[in-house]
Every structure is written in structure tokens, then in C-alpha cells.
Structure 1
Amino acid sequence: MNKLSSIEDNINHFRLRAHRKARAHYLFSKSLSNRHVWFGISIIFITTLIGSGVVLDISKSSSHFTPQLLGFLSLVAAILSSFQTFFGFESQSVKHKSTASQYNVLYRKMSLLHTKYLSGEYNNQLIMIEVESIQKDWAEIELKALDVPDRLYDKAKKEQVSDDEGV
């Protein structure tokens, strides 16, 4: 772990971490929302097929294959619906989006603090008071935050490195 040599380096380090964490939570929120939509569309499609098949089967009940296929599709739809309910993709998505928003607030606070430090508006004592407040907020967010897969955190880090805006 490299040493942070100055207040400026320390503020900048945590500012970038807050941005990275916000981005990772946002990416996961988007992924979960997409899963929710995918499961929902699949369920709608399968149950529509089942309904159409039942109507078709009632009108001409000569095939023994149709009831078995409809039974299988009904089972698949029930399983997908159960997964969608059990995993709660949409509610998790909302929680991750909220966490991302909270990290973005920290990022903006640290960016402002960094600017005030560089301008000379804040002395070291004021900086430390602000940093302690930010650390308290950070700890509260961490306690409530859901986990993000490492691959999404790594993706957020790569995006940050290649960011033209210098975030």
C-alpha cells in the first residue's frame, strides 16, 4: 500500500474511491434491472405461449405432445417467476442505485473540499474537521451498502483510469 504524502493526496485518493464505488454500484444496479426485465419478458412470452397452446389444444385435441409441452412451459414459467420474486432484482437494483447516489454525494463533497484546500480557503484544521465528517458519512454508507461483484468494481476502476474528464 503506497503512503499518501499529503492532505491533497489523501483527499484525492478518497475522492476517486468514492467515484469508483458509486460507478460500481450504478453498474450493478443496471445489471440487476436488466435481469428483472429479462425474467419478466421471458415469463410473459412463455405464459402467452401456454395460453395460446391451451386455446389451440381445446380446439383440436388430437396431439399428445401439446399437453406435455404446455406442462413443461408452465413449469419453466413458474420457476422463472419464482426466481424473479426470490432474488428481488428490482428492489436490489433500487438499493444499489441509492448507494451509488450516496457515494456520488461524498465524491462531490470531497471535490469541493479538494478545491477549497487548493485555493487556500481552508486551513489544515478545517480540512480535518471536514474529513472526519466525510469519514463518518462514508462509514454509514458502507454499513448499509450491499456487496458489488469484484468484476464490476474492477470495471469501474478501468473506466476511471481511461476517463478523459479526469474523474
Structure 2
Amino acid sequence: MATKTSRYIPPQCEDQLVLAWLRRARESQMAHYEMADLLSKKGRVLGVPVILLTSLIGASAFTSVASQIIPSWAKILIGLLSIAAAILSSLQTFFGYADRAEKHRTSAARFGAVRRQFEKVYAKRDKGIDSKAVETLCQELDKLAKESLHVPASIFLRVQRDVLYVGDEDTVNTNAVQSEMSER
């Protein structure tokens, strides 16, 4: 198995360390928002058929009460649709897409708050880094990492790919941001 050469270079000074943590907070924020969007979409994909099937079954049941003469194929179809609705509803509950999406949104917002604090520290770096503030923010990042739901590596890597860092400036690829904002 071939191994990739790591381009990671540890921070050489406190400025670089703050910038590295700022970037990680932003990448985590964006990754959690992407996960929230993905899970919300999956929830809709699973939820809409449940609504349609249960509505159809309810209407069919009402029709069957009104009309006693129902062909056997219709009874079988109604039975199969009822089973499909029950399965989809169970899957919707089991996967908990809405709950997980909300937890990712909450994590993203919390990572965003930490990122903004790191940005303040980084913006004032010419006056000296406030080591106490950095330590507090580092502890908050550690806490968030422990408390947050997992983001698959594929999503995290895609977010990192869409983020563009130029020299000492910390900028985001405007196309990725515009795309993200237009989807919200």
C-alpha cells in the first residue's frame, strides 16, 4: 500500500499556531454545516415518501369503507404500500436525520464562535499574542471535538479542498462560499 507524503509542517511560532487552530475551527465549522445539509436532505428524501404513502393508505382505507367491493389486487397493493410506509417510517426514526442535522448545525455554530475568537486574537498579533486567551480557546476546541458528532473524512477533505489559504492571509475560496450561501 502506497503512503502519501504529508505536507504537514508543525507551527514554528505562536502566530502560526493560532492561525492553524483558526483554520481548523473554520474547516470544522464548514464540515459540520455540510453534514447538517446532507442529513437534512436525506431526511427529506426519506420523509416525503412516508408522507405520500401514509396519505395514500389513509385515503385507500377511507375508500374501502365507502365501497365494499375492492378487487384483490387493490387489497394487496394497499397492504404492500402499508408495509413500505411502516419500513420507511421506521428507517426515518432509526437514522434520526433531523436530530443529527441539528446537532451538526449546533456544532458548526460553536466552531464558528471559537473561530471568530481566534480571528480576534490573530488580528491583534502585532501587539503580541494573548497566550491565556489562546489556551482557553484551545481548550474550547478540544471540548468541541469531544462533544461533536463525527464528520466523515470524505466530507472533511472536501471542505479542506474548497478552502484556499494564501500566504499569511486566511481567505476562503469565494466560489465555495457563494455556492454554500446560495444553497441556504
Query: 1:60 Cα deviation (Å)?
Result: 6.0
Match of 1:80 in 2: 88
Deviation by residue 1:32-58 (Cα, 9 ceiling, x = unmatched):
122222222111111122223334445
Match of 2:107 in 1: 99
Structure 1 unaligned regions, length at least 5:
none
Deviation by residue 1:73-108 (Cα, 9 ceiling, x = unmatched):
101100111111122111111111110011001110
Match of 1:39 in 2: 46
Query: 1:3 Cα deviation (Å)?
Result: 2.5
- Which of 2, 12, 19 is residue 9 of structure 2 equivalent to? 2
Match of 1:164 in 2: 174
Task: Give the letter for the 2:174 counterpart.
Answer: D
Match of 2:182 in 1: none
CA-based RMSD of the aligned residues comes to 2.0
Identity %: 25
Match of 1:131 in 2: 134
Match of 2:146 in 1: 143
Q: What's the TM-score, normalizing by structure 2?
A: 0.79
Q: Which stretch shifts more, 74-83 or 27-36? A: 27-36
Query: 1:4 Cα deviation (Å)?
Result: 1.5
Instruction: Give the count of matched residue pairs.
Output: 161
Tell me, yes or no, if the aligned pair for 1:53 and 1:66 is still in contact at 8 Å: no
Report runs of 4+ in structure 1 exceeding 6 Å deviation: none
Partners of 1:49 and 1:107 in 2: CA distance: 48
Q: Answer 1 or 2: which has greater helix percent.
A: 1
Task: Give the letter for the 1:135 counterpart.
Answer: C
